[in-house]
Amino acid sequence: MDAVVLAAGRGERLRPLTDHKPKALLEIGNTPLVGHVLRRLQRFGVRRAIINVCWLGAEIQEALGDGSRYGLKIVYSPEFPALETAGGIRRVLARGLVNSDPFLVHNADVLSDVDLSQTILSPGDDARIVLVPNPPEHPRGDYACREGRVRLDDEENRLTYAGIGFYRQSFFKPWTPESAPLRPLLDKAARANRLAGTVHGGRWWDVGTHRVLAELESDARAGILDDL
């Protein structure tokens, strides 16, 4: 299976660290954040990773190269300006860079122990997303999940989209070049009962704040992240 790794964002909440260094290259335990993601993808059988880049994207390409140090092949999809999540994925698909269907989408700023082998989509599903308990930075959550189906009608039991999902290529059609967020597409699939959900109760971090970055660096020094 191919994976699209989303690394185009500037990382506004991590400024000034990201003013002169792309967020994906911020280090945790002497390894770039995106390096942790790539190693995990490789362990779960991903052999090709397509990384979209924009802010300081040349630095990401120079640092990661062809991916051989991570045991997989890296292909890059440059953007300018950044096209948001759905727009970036559509650009990747329009360029013919994804060889598998379905394929995995993984944010470059997410670390977890999610079991990425859970890739099964039923014939009636357009996508399967991973949901996690709401972090302090996102207390209201995004979606509820009942009996493996993502729901919009339960505001009391919402969980947060983990930045990890398995998608059919057709989910993103038409592959237009405009900037576009992912949320409206997920909402549409949920309303049509074509969006599956997996609830993950294990370890997960959205590395989007100085607090989380500092905590993970401390965990890395203590060896707590060694098994990820």
Q: How much is the pLDDT for 226?
A: 76
pLDDT tens, residue by residue, 4-23: 999 999 888 889 988 899 99
Alpha-helical runs (H) found in the chain? 33-43, 57-64, 84-94, 183-191, 210-221
Asked, for residue 208, whether it belongs to a domain, the answer is yes
Cα(84)–Cα(92) distance, integer angstroms:
12
Residue 138: in which H helix or E strand, if any? none
C-alpha to C-alpha distances, 70 to 46, 47, 96, 107, 110, nearest whole angstrom? 11, 10, 23, 17, 17
Asked, for residue 75, whether it belongs to a domain, the answer is yes
pLDDT tens, residue by residue, 28-87: 988 999 999 999 999 999 999 999 999 999 999 999 999 999 999 999 999 999 999 999
In single-letter form, the type of residue at position 32 comes to P
Q: How much is the pLDDT for 155?
A: 82
Asked, for residue 227, whether it belongs to a domain, the answer is no
Q: Which is nearest to 95 in space by CA: 74, 78, 82, 81?
A: 78
Asked, for residue 228, whether it belongs to a domain, the answer is no
Cα(89)–Cα(31) distance, integer angstroms:
26
Q: Is a pLDDT exceeding 80 seen at residue 88?
A: yes
Confidence grade of residue 146 (pLDDT, cut at 50, 70, 90): very high
Q: How much is the pLDDT for 220?
A: 85
Q: Is a pLDDT exceeding 90 seen at residue 228?
A: no
Q: Domain containing 88 — which CATH number?
A: 3.90.550.10
Q: What domain range is 22 assigned to? A: 2-221
Confidence grade of residue 107 (pLDDT, cut at 50, 70, 90): very high
Percentage of residues of the chain with pLDDT beyond 90:
75
Cα(211)–Cα(158) distance, integer angstroms:
24
C-alpha to C-alpha distances, 111 to 39, 100, 102, 166, 220, nearest whole angstrom? 11, 23, 22, 16, 12
Domains in the chain, number = 1
* Euclidean distance between the first and the last CA atom of the chain, given in angstroms as a whole number: 20
Q: Which is nearest to 79 in space by CA: 64, 65, 92, 66?
A: 92
pLDDT tens, residue by residue, 152-165: 988 889 999 999 99
pLDDT tens, residue by residue, 188-210: 999 999 999 999 999 999 998 99
Q: Which is nearest to 24 in space by CA: 96, 87, 74?
A: 74
